[in-house]
Amino acid sequence: MVVAFGNTPLVCSGGPIKDKYSHMKYKLSIVILCLGMALAGFAEDVVFKAHAPSQVIVGRPFQLTYSVNQRSRDLRAPEFTDFDYLAGPYTSTSSSTSFVNGHRTSSFEQTYTYTLMARTPGTFTIAPATVKVDGESVQSNGVRITVLPEDEVVPDETGKTPDGKGQRAQSSQSSQAGQVSNENNIFVRTIASKTRVHEQEALMITYKLYFANVDVAQLTNNTKLPEFTGFLKQDLEQGEIQTQLEHYNGRNYQTAVLYRTILYPQHSGDITIEPAKFEAVLRVQTQQRVRSIFDDFFGSYTNVTKMLTAPGATIHVSALPSGKPAGFSGGVGKFTMTPSISQTEVLTNDAVTIKIDISGAGNMKLVKTPSVDWPEGFEPYDPKVTNNFNTTTAGVSGTKSIEYLAIPRSAGDYTIPAITFSYFDIEDKAYRTLATPEYTIHVKRGSGDASVTSAEDKGAVYYAQKEDIKQLGTDIRYIDTKPLKASASHPLTLSSYHLLWLWYAVPALIALILLIVLRKQIKENADITRVRYKRANKVAQKRLKAAAAALKAGNKDAFYAAIEQAAWTYLSDRLSIPTAELNKDNIAALLQQKGVSEALIADVKNVLSTAEFARYAPSTDHAMDDLYRDTTTLINNLENEKI
């Protein structure tokens, strides 16, 4: 039976329809196979990782966790030869699926957890583990763990141990108030990387917080750092404050770096760094009667403010030894020099470029640019200097690239003497001089060069650029020297003569006025102090505008940098204090001399201290708003003062 549907006949019996279904099933299987291959191509890579604390304490359990992002089996953990095996592995799985803008994303994680305990102090490595995923063996990473010794027995606030066996650090049963008042529970150390250095030799000062058995909620902006008088200072970038364990004086503490800076001593002798002050807010459990089941469950806490004083330090600075080379300009560190020249055979009026790269570590920012003794007949240009420096805990390192460019104006053979750079080698304790080779430049006369003679002729260089005289056309006319006569249409009257004189007098008067104004402007601009005084508010408002933009964008680092620059630059310009002498004490003393109120001076110190420390301590948007408002108010108040 054949049924016609449109122009297409359908066969209801026999073999044709069966063949058609077979063909469709074949196509469908091909599509499914291709889809499977595509999905396999997009399958997530297997990630098998081991996680453990980087630091643990002897006798305290910790967890070692292995995680894999696909279903796995047959975990093979290494032997824990350096640790006691307590429990595990405990297996758990988690998965999640989300739809965002029509796109489906899913994740899966399977974890294996072991509980271990360290037996002895030291640094140990746990070997990788293996697991099977879809029949294939996958290996994890190894884990490196530093084991700190146990706390030594120390007395409590009364000087006694609570039992015959002694007490480990502070007992958890001791009062929170006692823990806060105990100076051994929280303090700040001043750590100098070196205490004996030479002039201009870099050293790092670190202020590090140590705390145990106390809960540090936050660090406030009420911080006073020393002025570091006698040093040039290069602050290190400080990210978010991170804590880690450290064994110090027989006890384990949580530690956090509060502030770090690189110092370069500017003179010999003993230089003293004054103490620093930091303020911390501690979370202390109260001892009041429990008022509800929720107070009993969550506990009742209050915040206590504690001022921490970091001790000062004395740095012994040795003078650089005698016998300084002639080209020594104060470089101290370890350097190398790589020279190059663009070409040694050139035509007149073509540029010659010499490039040197001074690389190494030391007081790179103070290294002066060596000079080049160009031969007569070369027209030199100012060198182009490119600095690529990186400030790390080891000091400032990088490369100073210098390009010297000169144009030969006369033909001949010239010798460029060696370029020298001398420095004090901090490792060998001796002066070193680096030098480029002498370069011989052969200069040929170019096609456009009209030099009369070369440098060898009579010891003089003559250079002239001549140009043919051409008749430009017939647009030049002779000046009529006949006397000006009146005509009937243009009679010469007295008013005509007056008008003629005005044509000369008015431009002369305008030129005279411009000359007076320009002379006055030049005189005012020559007074740098007055110029800085007048522009102080304008520059500060520009920095505050940048700070407001950073505040709106939520860029914390840019905000605090702009605020700090606005305050310091304004005070430097307004009070005419050189940057090298700019510090809070000098500012306060000068404001007192000018009759500024003590309250306003206190506001100045508060804003400067807050802006200086806020970049290195946790803060909120509210604190940033307060700092911006306080800085703006301070500048406006100082504008109203006659200083």
CB crowding 345-379: b at 16 or more within 10 Å, else e: ebebbeebebbbebbbbbbbebbeebebebbebbe
How many CB atoms are located within 10 Å of the residue 260 CB? 18
Residues 449 and 350 in one domain: yes
The reply to whether 489 falls in a domain is no
The rounded radius of gyration (Å) of the Cα atoms in the chain is 40
DSSP 168: B
Residues 31 and 53 in one domain: no
Cα 609 to Cα 628: distance, rounded to the nearest angstrom:
13
Whole-number Cα distances in Å, 148 to 52, 57, 118, 180, 216: 15, 5, 9, 24, 22
The reply to whether 162 falls in a domain is no
Would the pLDDT of 167 be above 70?
Answer: no
Token pair of 276 as six digits:
């620093």
Per-residue confidence (pLDDT) for residue 17, from 0 to 100: 40
Q: How many CA atoms lie within 13 A of 125 on its CB side?
A: 4
Per-residue confidence (pLDDT) for residue 255, from 0 to 100: 93
Q: DSSP for 219-239?
A: E-S--B----TTEEEEEPP--
CATH at 276: 2.60.40
Q: Are the C-beta atoms of residues 242 and 188 closer than 8 Å to each other? A: no
Query: Which of residues 294 and 607 earns the better pLDDT score?
Result: 607
Nearest C-alpha neighbor of 91 from the set 117, 70, 65: 65
Would the pLDDT of 617 be above 90?
Answer: no
Residue finishing a domain among 252, 283, 318: 318
The reply to whether 122 falls in a domain is yes
Token pair of 329 as six digits:
């300009």
Token pair of 437 as six digits:
């080779």
Per-residue confidence (pLDDT) for residue 431, from 0 to 100: 93
Per-residue confidence (pLDDT) for residue 33, from 0 to 100: 55
Token pair of 304 as six digits:
């206590």
Residue 317 — pLDDT band, cuts 50, 70, 90?
very high
Residue 600 — pLDDT band, cuts 50, 70, 90?
confident
* Upstream peptide bond of 89 is cis (omega within 30 degrees of 0): yes
Residues 360 and 280 in one domain: no
DSSP-derived pairing of the beta strands 439-444 and 345-347: parallel
Whole-number Cα distances in Å, 558 to 543, 553, 568, 572, 624: 11, 10, 16, 21, 12
Residues 129 and 36 in one domain: no
Residues 191 and 276 in one domain: yes
Residue 622 — pLDDT band, cuts 50, 70, 90?
low
Summarised one tens digit per residue, pLDDT across range 282-316 is 888 776 555 555 555 555 778 888 899 999 999 99
Tallying the residues shown for the chain, one arrives at 643
CATH at 585: 1.20.120
Q: DSSP for 508-526?
A: HHHHHHHHHHHHHHHHHHH
Ranked by mean pLDDT, the top range of 101-115, 232-246, 416-430 is 416-430
Summarised one tens digit per residue, pLDDT across range 502-551 is 777 888 888 888 888 887 777 666 555 556 666 777 888 888 888 888 88
The reply to whether 171 falls in a domain is no
Cα 39 to Cα 507: distance, rounded to the nearest angstrom:
85
Give the total number of structural domains in the chain.
5
DSSP-derived pairing of the beta strands 328-341 and 420-425: parallel
The reply to whether 185 falls in a domain is yes
CATH at 113: 2.60.40.10
Residues 231 and 298 in one domain: yes
Q: Are the C-beta atoms of residues 278 and 223 closer than 8 Å to each other? A: yes
Cα 72 to Cα 138: distance, rounded to the nearest angstrom:
10
Work out the average pLDDT over 469-488. Answer: 50
How many CB atoms are located within 10 Å of the residue 404 CB? 22
Nearest C-alpha neighbor of 392 from the set 210, 562, 202: 202
Residues 182 and 314 in one domain: yes
Residues 388 and 430 in one domain: yes
DSSP 580: G
Nearest C-alpha neighbor of 551 from the set 637, 621, 481: 621
Token pair of 545 as six digits:
């505008």
Residue finishing a domain among 130, 148, 166: 148
Strand order in the sheet with 143-148: 55-57, 143-148, 122-126
First-residue to last-residue Cα distance in the chain: 113
Query: Which of residues 212 and 500 earns the better pLDDT score?
Result: 212
Summarised one tens digit per residue, pLDDT across range 19-35 is 555 556 555 666 555 55
Work out the average pLDDT over 166-181. Answer: 50
Residue 578 — pLDDT band, cuts 50, 70, 90?
confident
CATH at 365: 2.60.40.740
Cα 402 to Cα 420: distance, rounded to the nearest angstrom:
13
Residues 191 and 298 in one domain: yes
Residue finishing a domain among 103, 132, 148: 148
Residues 373 and 394 in one domain: yes
Cα 205 to Cα 231: distance, rounded to the nearest angstrom:
12
The reply to whether 435 falls in a domain is yes
The domain in which residue 23 lies consists of 2-41
Helices and strands: H and E segment counts in the chain: 9, 33
Residues 181 and 309 in one domain: yes
Residue 6 — pLDDT band, cuts 50, 70, 90?
very low
Q: DSSP for 269-334?
A: EEEEEPPEEEEEEEEEE--SPP-SHHHHHH--EEEEEEEEEE--EEEEEEPPPS---TTEEEEEEE
Q: Are the C-beta atoms of residues 400 and 367 closer than 8 Å to each other? A: yes
Strand order in the sheet with 61-68: 48-51, 61-68, 103-118, 83-100
Cα 588 to Cα 602: distance, rounded to the nearest angstrom:
8
Whole-number Cα distances in Å, 640 to 538, 545, 566, 630, 635: 15, 20, 17, 16, 9
Cα pseudo-dihedral 544, 548, 550, 553, rounded to 10: -170
Summarised one tens digit per residue, pLDDT across range 42-88 is 456 888 899 999 889 988 899 999 999 888 888 888 888 889 888 88
Summarised one tens digit per residue, pLDDT across range 63-73 is 999 999 888 88
Q: At what angle do helices 621-640 and 556-575 cross, to 10 degrees?
A: 10
Q: Are the C-beta atoms of residues 383 and 369 closer than 8 Å to each other? A: yes
Residues 347 and 452 in one domain: yes
What is the phi/psi pair of residue 40, to 5°? -65, -35
- Stretch (H or E) spanning 640: helix 621-640
The reply to whether 220 falls in a domain is yes
The reply to whether 522 falls in a domain is no
Whole-number Cα distances in Å, 66 to 61, 112, 134, 166, 634: 17, 5, 18, 38, 56
